[in-house]
């Protein structure tokens, strides 16, 4: 080929590229996009550059709204999204689930080296990445109903499509994704704690050997390593000495704090449980944080101006007004085989001096064996026996009942405990009617609040400070005082008080959180729920590489489909 022909060929190629760019800039529909959207509409899986398109319906709607025009024509927009996706680990999300590596490769590839079809493929990938990431940040990646069968909160379903359109127009892609995260301060503090803990990844973390318990004043060869571990975990000052085999000084002050924030008895004794907590790998703690972050994303954008929050795994209750905690209390939750459910509702009324109608399951599984063993059981606890239900029920003498002949399939009675100091509900209960028959209440078993792990109930939540909680609830626009509450309780009469404005209550399950003092707290996974959630959270449809056939793939060349390997 002579020089003249070669020049004409290069000129023609350059002209074609320029005409293609001009066509895309003019707003004309992109045929390659149309073909792929048609495949999605027909129900076919679409795979682009080796990755499946997952945000199928929202992606179709996005391109329909913009007349099938390319969206990611500006390099700055693509770079902004690729960088934002790389920052997702701080929220416990994996960039690989959002085409992370492929986006970075496409950002680095010169525009002039891409075919028209590959540019369309790139557009789909960037759109899919934003829609997926935005949805997961706003509403969570995992369907909570797949983890908690009892979940009843109607989760918000954020419409990401108009947000993406506006972000592309205004160049605010990173800010838009950031705004989709929960704005609750507790979520943001947990994100920051995760970032700090992530710095320990890759550092040596050899297990501290078992041995005799170490008490203040003891000497032990393990103490230098324990010093170093507590410094790494920020429980001990970085300037603290790590050479001493003696348990004294700063270590003696730091150990109880470490124990307390891990849900252990803060006795300062380095025993088996404390060593287990010290030996827990940073990656394990980060996974706990990731599970908690995902659970935060399941919650409403706003918990309410005033609300009650119960953390089952943390055995704690908080009441918050206008962003400020006004009450915290220890609680007792359900046993592992009678777990307290996760749900949100509204506290609607309070009952003072309540009666307790024993739930049928408890009657046949718990009370019936006790009655058979102890004839005076019912009288001692003030429990009356009724035959039938509703207005037609009648009181019967418990001595006339053949308790030995009863069973779970034959139990035509109700057991009702009257008001009094022995009542299982104590002197007050907080009602938010729900299908689990779960509520908050007082309890006569006050000594159980002194235990570190408090799984003793049959599903309801026993509150250590019930009257303080009642005082806060009734102070919300009502003419009540603590003195008036005490007078009402002293009458012994069952009284219902309806709240003029129901107060939101959120019963949740977090094994990691940051407390009001900024300390990162961890608790045992008492119901073994984190593992299943983390498995779902780590699951990646992109990594599976398995799609049902037929599969519509990119029309780009083999070399282009391997761009991330060859560039």
- Burial of residue 486 (CB within 10 Å: 0-12, 13-18, 19+) is exposed
Cα 415 from Cα 323, distance rounded (Å): 42
Residue among 328, 460, 506, 528 flagged as catalytic: 460
* Signed CA dihedral, 435, 438, 439, 441: sign only: positive
Residue among 328, 441, 539, 555 flagged as catalytic: 441
Query: How many CB atoms are located within 10 Å of the residue 485 CB?
Result: 19
Q: Which two tokens stand for residue 16?
A: 């074609």
The answer to whether 441 is a known catalytic residue is yes
Q: Which helix (H) or strand (E) holds 347?
A: strand 343-352
CA angle at 282 for the pair 337 and 178, rounded to the nearest 5°: 90
* Cβ atoms of residues 127 and 152 within 8 Å: no
Omega prior to 385 cis, within 30 of 0: no
Cα 251 from Cα 274, distance rounded (Å): 13
Cα 314 from Cα 521, distance rounded (Å): 9
- Torsional class of 556: left (φ above 0), alpha (ψ -120 to 50), beta (otherwise): beta
Cα 272 from Cα 159, distance rounded (Å): 50
Per DSSP bridges, beta strands 383-387 and 413-417 are antiparallel
* Cβ atoms of residues 214 and 197 within 8 Å: no
The answer to whether 539 is a known catalytic residue is no
Q: Which residues are catalytic?
A: 441, 460
């Amino acid at each position: 080929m002579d020089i003249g022909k070669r020049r004409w060929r290069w000129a023609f190629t350059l002209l074609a590229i320029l005409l293609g760019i001009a066509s895309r800039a003019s707003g004309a529909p992109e045929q390659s996009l149309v073909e792929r959207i048609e495949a999605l509409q027909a129900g076919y899986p679409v795979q682009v550059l080796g990755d499946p398109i997952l945000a199928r319906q929202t992606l179709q709607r996005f391109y329909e709204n913009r007349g099938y025009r390319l969206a990611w024509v500006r390099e700055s927009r693509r770079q902004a999204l690729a960088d934002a996706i790389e920052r997702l680990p701080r929220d416990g999300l994996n960039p690989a689930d959002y085409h992370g590596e492929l986006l970075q490769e496409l950002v680095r590839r010169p525009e002039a080296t891409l075919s028209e079809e590959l540019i369309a493929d790139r557009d789909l990938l960037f759109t899919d990445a934003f829609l997926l990431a935005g949805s997961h940040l706003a509403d969570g990646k995992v369907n909570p109903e797949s983890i908690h069968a009892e979940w009843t909160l109607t989760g918000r379903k954020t419409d990401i499509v108009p947000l993406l359109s506006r972000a592309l127009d205004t160049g605010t892609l990173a800010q838009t994704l950031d705004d989709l995260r929960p704005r609750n301060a507790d979520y943001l503090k947990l994100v920051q704690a995760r970032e700090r803990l992530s710095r320990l990844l890759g550092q040596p973390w050899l297990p501290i050997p078992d041995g005799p318990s170490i008490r203040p004043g003891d000497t032990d060869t393990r103490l230098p390593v324990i010093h170093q571990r507590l410094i790494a975990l920020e429980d001990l000052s970085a300037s603290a000495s790590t050479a001493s085999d003696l348990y004294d000084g700063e270590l003696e002050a730091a150990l109880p704090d470490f124990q307390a924030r891990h849900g252990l008895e803060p006795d300062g004794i380095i025993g088996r449980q404390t060593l287990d907590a010290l030996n827990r790998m940073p990656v394990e703690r980060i996974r706990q944080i990731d599970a908690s972050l995902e659970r935060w994303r399941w919650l409403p954008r706003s918990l309410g101006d005033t609300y009650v929050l119960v953390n089952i795994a943390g055995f704690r209750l908080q009441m918050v007004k206008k962003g400020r905690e006004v009450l915290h209390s220890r609680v007792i939750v359900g046993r592992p085989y009678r777990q307290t459910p996760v749900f949100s509702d509204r506290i609607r009324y309070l009952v003072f001096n309540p009666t307790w109608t024993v739930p049928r399951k408890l009657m046949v599984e718990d009370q019936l064996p006790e009655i058979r063993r102890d004839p005076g059981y019912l009288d001692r606890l003030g429990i009356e026996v009724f035959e039938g239900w509703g207005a037609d029920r009648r009181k019967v003498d418990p001595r006339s009942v053949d308790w030995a002949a009863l069973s779970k399939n034959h139990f035509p009675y109700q057991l009702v405990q009257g008001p009094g100091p022995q009542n299982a509900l104590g002197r007050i209960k907080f009602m938010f009617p729900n299908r689990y028959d779960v509520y908050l209440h007082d309890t006569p078993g006050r000594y159980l609040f002194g235990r570190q792990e408090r799984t003793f109930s049959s599903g309801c939540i026993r509150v250590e400070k019930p009257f303080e909680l009642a005082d806060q609830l009734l102070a919300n626009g009502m003419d009540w005082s603590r003195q008036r509450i005490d007078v009402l309780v002293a009458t012994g009469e069952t009284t219902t008080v309806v709240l003029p404005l129901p107060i939101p209550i959120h019963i949740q399950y977090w094994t990691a959180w940051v407390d009001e003092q900024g300390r990162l707290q961890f608790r045992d996974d008492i119901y073994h729920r984190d593992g299943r959630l983390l498995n779902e959270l780590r699951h990646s449809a992109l990594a599976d590489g398995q799609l049902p056939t037929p599969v519509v793939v990119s029309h780009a060349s083999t070399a282009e489909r391997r761009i991330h390997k060859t560039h």
